């Protein structure tokens, strides 16, 4: 039974699962949208929105710029994406109070029947 168990394990142990989520989040910021399974999309959504909020806090002065960039660097797989999130996305979503991503259901994958979804950054 899974009483009081939070989060999705995605069929992986904690190390590979963290690496997968870090890579998916980085690719979401790099390309603006990714197609993945519905469970993975629902799992990365809160983390991606939290990273944009951290970048916005760095711009507004609620936390220092250095601290915000270090937090982003620890949670993204590519160091070059830190400047994209901090400089571009934080400014783009400055007036938006939340809800930076959207998930579209795409139907089932042909090979194994997994439900697919498209997660994208809101314009």
What pLDDT band is residue 123 in, cutting at 50, 70 and 90? Answer: confident
DSSP codes, 85-96: IIIIIHHHTTT-
Across 68-97, average pLDDT? 96
Q: Can you give the residue ranges of every domain in the chain?
A: 14-31+38-99
Cα–Cα dist 77/9, whole Å? 20
Cα–Cα dist 60/65, whole Å? 9
* Burial zone of 103 (CB within 10 Å; 0-12 exposed, 13-18 middle, 19+ buried): middle
Average pLDDT score, the chain: 96
Domain spanning 14-31+38-99: CATH 3.40.50.1100: no
Cα–Cα dist 35/28, whole Å? 9
Q: How big is the chain by its Cα radius of gyration, in Å? A: 15
For the entire predicted model, the pTM comes to: 0.93
pLDDT tens per residue, range 31-74: 999 999 999 999 999 999 999 999 999 999 999 999 999 999 99
């Amino acid at each position: 039974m899974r009483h009081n168990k939070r989060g999705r394990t995605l069929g992986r142990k904690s190390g590979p699962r963290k690496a997968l989520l870090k890579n998916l989040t980085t690719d979401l910021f790099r390309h603006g949208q990714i197609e993945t399974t519905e469970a993975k999309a629902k799992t990365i959504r809160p983390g991606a929105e939290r990273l944009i909020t951290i970048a916005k806090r760095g711009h507004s002065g609620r936390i220092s710029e250095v601290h915000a960039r270090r937090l982003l660097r620890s949670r993204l797989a590519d160091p070059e994406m830190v400047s994209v999130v901090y400089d571009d996305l934080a400014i783009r979503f400055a007036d938006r109070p939340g809800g930076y991503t959207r998930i579209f259901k795409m139907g089932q994958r042909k090979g194994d029947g997994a439900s697919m979804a498209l997660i994208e950054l809101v314009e």
